[in-house]
Structure 1
Amino acid sequence: MTRVEQCVERVVPVRARLRILATTDLHMHILPYDYLADRPVEGWGLTNTADLIAQARAEEPNTILLDNGDFLHGTAMGDLVVEQYRAASGADAPVVHPMIAAMDHLGYDAATLGNHDFDRGVAVLFDAIEQAGFPIVSANTILRRAATPLQDATLVPPFALLNRRISDADGVMRDIRIGVIGFLPPGSLKLGHNSGTAPQTRDIIQTARCFVPYLKARGADIIVALAHSGLGDDVHRDGMENALRPLSRVAGIDAIVGGHSHQVFPDPDAPDLRPDGLCDRLNHVPTIVPGFWGSHLGVIDLDLTRDVRGWTVAAGHAALRKVAGAEGADTVSGTVRPFPNWVQHLHESTLNHMRTPIARCTTDLDNYFALVGGDCATRLVQEAMLACARQVQADRLGSDLPVLASSAPFKSGGLAGPQYYSRVRAGQMTLRSLSDLYVFPNELMLVRATGAYLRHWLERSASLFNQVLPGERAVWLKDDGTPGYLLESVLGLTYRIDLRQPARFTPEGAPLGLSGGRIVDLRHQGRRVRDNDEFLLATSDFRACGGGGFPEAPEDRRVAMPPLPIRDVLKAHVQRVGLVRTAQDPIWRFSEVAGASIRFKTSPDARHVTGRFPWLPIRNVQTHDERGFAHYEMEL
């Protein structure tokens, strides 16, 4: 810059706008197709999000595109890529991982890692991301811990400095350096299939406080935090999983992209202004959490001012745009190049693979009423885990501990919509059926669990429900933003959940320090469970390692065994049984609350199966709400 230009900028600062576009939690949803239901869908898929990206770029020339992690795994297509497709030869097989190829095709500028990107192990992760034409960063995912985060040996580069040219308000091209730093939720990485030793993680806030000033010193004009983390509590706790609110108070961060929790922020249904006067910012930092599976595109517009000291943010605005076909979505217009032919070839291969028959079942299996204790879909998964655990105990452990199995209804409506429930119809079962019943590539883990540990486990599970006092009517069973997949139940035990008692944990899993509890009359084979009783608990490695805020099993309590994916356990079980019959009786029930009732949402298809659970005092009170959910009321 010449001396004359410097003098001019002291008097008249240069102004420009930078647009940040972002996706999160794509989970290999390249196409708008539900492989578990075997049907096309509206409302998600990166090919749909691409239209929004093209439109947003057409509106603003100064644009960067970022992704916030969990992009590699989560659909049957992603499983096929890992297990079969990329090992095949032929002209149709892509050299680059399909999701990486799709992101390159759309021109992503940078991305961070999510915890589920490690689901198939570090080797599979690197095989994919080493092919990316854009930087992939994570500052708190480390191989070797040092005295400070700046000295850590990180798994991937902690940040990227993007040197870009942007057009100012007068059309003059200017240089700008954008710092992009990534964060992973601490404690979320598991020891999975072929993963070897999982990387360590540092606290998000501790890491940010070290790296943000360092980025500024390296010449970053603007700093964008890609935090694969949810909003969480306002008060920082070391190692917290969802930490966007405390992260927004770290000085020097200009914009935040969140994720992990499959939430949306800003909430389009929220009032225009919250009590703090803001609707699209956390502590004055523009923030977006753009849904999941490509359901939304996050857009942050930063109004910039430049003087002799560099660029600063004068103002910022954040918003979400829904993909075409989603509720409340706007019509979009933009130009996007068609995706390559291999995407369609991979789609067809996935469909053929998923339709492979493996067994038969005598009745429909579904989880429409899982939130009130009627769930034969999860019950089959638990029965398979229980049978496998008993076999491992007999073959390897030589013990006779009572065996239990814990799992949850992972497809449970919520933000994914009224059709996102598990349902396998009576008759032929296919590989699609197994993926519908258990959607994640988690592995079986056996834990020597005490009665006290199990009570803690179930209290965490029951904390997703709201409190209900005597005489209260039609109280919502849970808040819309609290996911139903937190409801772990344990086959082999019986118990009641007393909603009169306050929850002992926040929805994120933080202990509230309250005494008492909701889990009452906890029994095994009719006998009350004591704190020092010993059991062998079959669960997933994700849960046993503390996923979702559940109590982490100590290392010396985990049974050493070879990697065993739970879907493989389920497949072996149904093939061995041949003709599947699943029990309908409840594992748990709600305690009576005098004169009270609860209200909950489920799929409108639930009306076909209400007679299967005669012990549930429920009635339909609304056939379809504005999102398509049916509402039921239940007497307590």
Structure 2
Amino acid sequence: MTKSVSMSRRAFLGTSAAGAFIALHPYSARAAANQAHLRIMETTDLHVHVFPYDYYADKPRDTLGLSRTASIIGDIRAEATNSMLLDNGDFLQGNPMGDYIAYEKGLKEGDLHPVVAAMNTVGFDAATVGNHEFNYGLSFLDKAAAGADFPVVLANLAKEQGSDPTRDVTLFKPYVILDRELTDGAGDTHPIKVGIIGFTPPQVMNWDRRHLEGSVTARDIVETAQAYVPQMREEGADIIIALSHSGIGSADHADGMENASVPLAAVDGVDALMTGHSHLVFPSATYADRAGLDVDAGTIHGKPAVMGGYWGSHLGVIDLMLERDGNKWRVVTTASEARPISKRNEDRSITALVEDDESVLDSVRTIHEETLAYVRRAVGKTSAPLHSYFALVADDPSVQIVSIAQKWYIEQMLKGSEHEGLPILSAAAPFKAGGRGGPEYYTDVPAGDVAIKNVADLYLYPNTARAVRVTGAQVKDWLERSAGMFNQIEAGKPDQVLLNPSFPSYNFDVIDGVTYQIDLTQPSKFDPKGGLINADANRIVNLMFDGQPVDPAAEFIIATNNYRAGGGGKFPGTDGTTVFEAPDTNRDVIVRYIVEQGTINPSADANWHFAKADGATVLFDTGPKARDYLSDVKGVVIEDAGDGPDGFARFRISL
């Protein structure tokens, strides 16, 4: 049965929930008898954030939550004569509520996952599957998706591959064509067929190999779109919207690329593009001067596109002015924007721009309370604070404890194996280190009780432990890859910017078990994506094991996680070198270690530091609370340098 495209959830158009007047969008106000305004709204990368609550910090947070985003959906719908709401994936995993359901409470056939319950309450028209939907396995995903009151589509993952994508037996429906009715400028209704197709990064086959290998295969995003979009047109789709759980990367297509949204937009027949995965905002200045993009117009290759932030921080909005040509619709003009739910003030405080939608809160309130109890359980004690404020510039306690626990676990797992007796190193990276997450996005656990919420704070993702067997040369190159975190500096020069903003903190691996220095005056050997750019570069100097220089031919075991061992970050030494795949998550390993130890001592041992550079100084920004721990930092000469931008604090390091 044909149904109308969603109108406002309010009783009437033109007013907000508070009774304030809402002006119609110009497309709706000016539409002629043969024209209709269709507004398409996007959420993306919700990661189970329904309540505006940071479970890791155990406190409310105004910058996130579907309940906040949902509260503006009604008003944004009221600005348009016709509207639809879509989700772009990564809704099922990403905070302790997701872990509580997956690991503690469980999900049986017929159970309703809380984030799906919230999405049902809001009223989505369709959704796609992001890479993190696979973190808990296919059975869990199937049960969760079964509760959705909206179709879930995904075109490029197949249970059985055919001779081309259209002959694949896909894991989900590759696309849907929704029969809707549009109200035109004269108030008359007309049918429209809206095609929705979904894509996820093919890298899921590496990132979640243990769940997917032998069950599904992945295809290239653009190749898949080129096959399916003409078929959707043949089936009568008037317009086609691509749900691309893929970032905005290069304009040049490469087979199997992770961030394929730009070449995807160039596929003939795609009318609008919802993007995500990168946890950024489009249109915004972040993407200025990129090939194929027009930030002012909000287009990619001339087609409207959005990326609605993450955790419900923004609602992506695409406006289409459609014109009826016979029995078909065509796009006449477009507009795109991303509307935030909060703003940072000049005094660095956060102001909430919206209130909660109580019906969304009510849909998950019981699970929210259960999650709070789950994360507050104490599992042990720490004799020193666990914080990540200086994790990118010095050996750090929050990274140290992860490394210690991984090494402890892998030592047990390799006993009796052919690898027993090889020296075991441990690689770990800081996950919460500011950056895009903002000046509050750091691990900060005081000395005393350690609860499950603290372990989740130390290790954000439900990765599983892995062990890889590498040579001494690969250990050095692994560290060279990590050292791309830093800009090259000039010896003796003052106040140079230290951190490369395009290098994510989760790719800054520190390897415990060796000692080394990083010479910042040397160029990086690898680019931020792991590509070799300076083959002869040597930032890693004085690399030692057990007091002796590391022999390039010596063999080591490195304890790490499935993401890194599966090729995530393109680290040298991870290609085909996995010797142990654990059934346990790294979080579980940390919890077990803390429980066994009772009281842990996470103090950093300063096994790495920066090499001298003739008195040069460098600047880096971190959270303001870092000032409380400044005296604890080892292996680096550091001082407070005042305030940084956007709520960060600035520090100076002398080399």
TM-score, normalising length from structure 1?
A: 0.90
Deviation at 1:514, TM superposition (A): 5.2
Determine if contact 1:302/1:316 at 8 Å carries over to the other structure.
yes
Determine if contact 1:42/1:325 at 8 Å carries over to the other structure.
no
Distance 2:411 2:170 in 1: 40
Partner of 1:581: 601
Q: Is 1:629 equivalent to 2:648 in the alignment?
A: yes
Partner of 1:46: 66
Deviation at 1:192, TM superposition (A): 6.6
Distance 1:588 1:404 in 2: 14
Instruction: Give the residue type in structure 1 aligned to 2:650.
Output: H
Deviation at 1:165, TM superposition (A): 0.9
Deviation at 1:46, TM superposition (A): 0.6
Partner of 1:62: 82
1:429 to 445, 450, 467: 450
Deviations 1:216-253 (A, max 9, x none): 22222212111111122233222221222222222222
Alignment of 1:121-140 (within 5 A): 121-140=137-156
Distance 2:214 2:233 in 1: 33
Distance 2:607 2:223 in 1: 42
Q: Is 1:143 equivalent to 2:159 in the alignment?
A: yes
Deviations 1:82-116 (A, max 9, x none): 22334699xxxx93111111111111111111111
Determine if contact 2:90/2:133 at 8 Å carries over to the other structure.
yes
Instruction: Give the residue type in structure 2 aligned to 1:526.
Output: G
Q: 1:581 to 1:540 in 2, by over 3 A?
A: same
Deviation at 1:444, TM superposition (A): 0.3
SS state at 2:414 partner: helix
Determine if contact 2:107/2:143 at 8 Å carries over to the other structure.
no
Deviation at 1:395, TM superposition (A): 4.1
Partner of 2:489: 468
Deviation at 1:573, TM superposition (A): 0.8
Determine if contact 1:232/1:508 at 8 Å carries over to the other structure.
no
% identical equivalent positions = 38
Partner of 1:384: 405
Determine if contact 2:484/2:528 at 8 Å carries over to the other structure.
yes
Distance 1:273 1:454 in 2: 35
Number of corresponding residues: 619
Determine if contact 2:53/2:65 at 8 Å carries over to the other structure.
yes
Distance 1:513 1:112 in 2: 39
Partner of 2:6: none
| Higher mean displacement: 26-35 or 308-317 | 308-317
Determine if contact 2:174/2:198 at 8 Å carries over to the other structure.
yes
| Higher mean displacement: 498-507 or 59-68 | 498-507
Distance 1:312 1:497 in 2: 57
Deviations 1:190-210 (A, max 9, x none): 347766745322222222222
Deviation at 1:624, TM superposition (A): 5.5
Distance 2:255 2:292 in 1: 28
| Higher mean displacement: 506-515 or 406-415 | 506-515
SS state at 2:520 partner: coil
Determine if contact 2:68/2:357 at 8 Å carries over to the other structure.
no
Q: 1:383 to 1:161 in 2, by over 3 A?
A: same
Determine if contact 1:359/1:574 at 8 Å carries over to the other structure.
yes
Deviation at 1:331, TM superposition (A): 7.7
Distance 1:506 1:283 in 2: 27
Partner of 1:8: none
Aligned-pair Cα RMSD in Å: 2.8
Determine if contact 1:34/1:40 at 8 Å carries over to the other structure.
yes
Deviation at 1:454, TM superposition (A): 2.9
Determine if contact 2:515/2:543 at 8 Å carries over to the other structure.
yes
Partner of 2:278: 261
Deviation at 1:155, TM superposition (A): 1.1
1:237 to 254, 258, 275: 254
TM-score, normalising length from structure 2?
A: 0.88
Determine if contact 2:107/2:113 at 8 Å carries over to the other structure.
no
Deviations 1:465-484 (A, max 9, x none): 33323455433333545432
Partner of 1:359: 380
Deviations 1:123-145 (A, max 9, x none): 11111001111111111112223
Deviations 1:335-371 (A, max 9, x none): 9562364522211111112111111111111110011
Distance 2:281 2:367 in 1: 30
Distance 2:571 2:72 in 1: 37
Q: Is 1:319 equivalent to 2:340 in the alignment?
A: no
Q: Is 1:405 equivalent to 2:441 in the alignment?
A: no
Q: 1:551 to 1:234 in 2, by over 3 A?
A: farther
Distance 1:334 1:615 in 2: 46
Structure 1: stretches of 5+ with no match in the other structure: 1-11
Partner of 1:99: 115
Distance 1:288 1:552 in 2: 37
SS state at 1:288 partner: strand
Partner of 1:521: 542
Deviation at 1:435, TM superposition (A): 1.0
Determine if contact 2:67/2:356 at 8 Å carries over to the other structure.
no
SS state at 1:372 partner: coil
Partner of 1:566: 586
Q: 1:52 to 1:464 in 2, by over 3 A?
A: farther
2:185 to 169, 172, 185: 169
Deviations 1:477-498 (A, max 9, x none): 3354543222111111222333
Partner of 1:447: 468
Structure 2: stretches of 5+ with no match in the other structure: 1-31
2:312 to 267, 291, 294: 294
Instruction: Give the residue type in structure 2 aligned to 1:311.
Output: W
Partner of 1:339: 360
1:152 to 165, 168, 176: 168
Distance 2:182 2:622 in 1: 48
Distance 1:346 1:561 in 2: 32
Deviation at 1:53, TM superposition (A): 1.4
Determine if contact 1:278/1:284 at 8 Å carries over to the other structure.
no
Distance 1:318 1:376 in 2: 43
Q: 1:161 to 1:511 in 2, by over 3 A?
A: farther
Distance 1:631 1:55 in 2: 40
Determine if contact 1:322/1:330 at 8 Å carries over to the other structure.
no
Partner of 2:617: 597
Q: 1:380 to 1:560 in 2, by over 3 A?
A: closer
Partner of 1:6: none
Instruction: Give the residue type in structure 1 aligned to 2:647.
Output: G
Distance 1:552 1:123 in 2: 32
Q: 1:602 to 1:154 in 2, by over 3 A?
A: same
Partner of 1:214: 231
Determine if contact 2:345/2:351 at 8 Å carries over to the other structure.
no
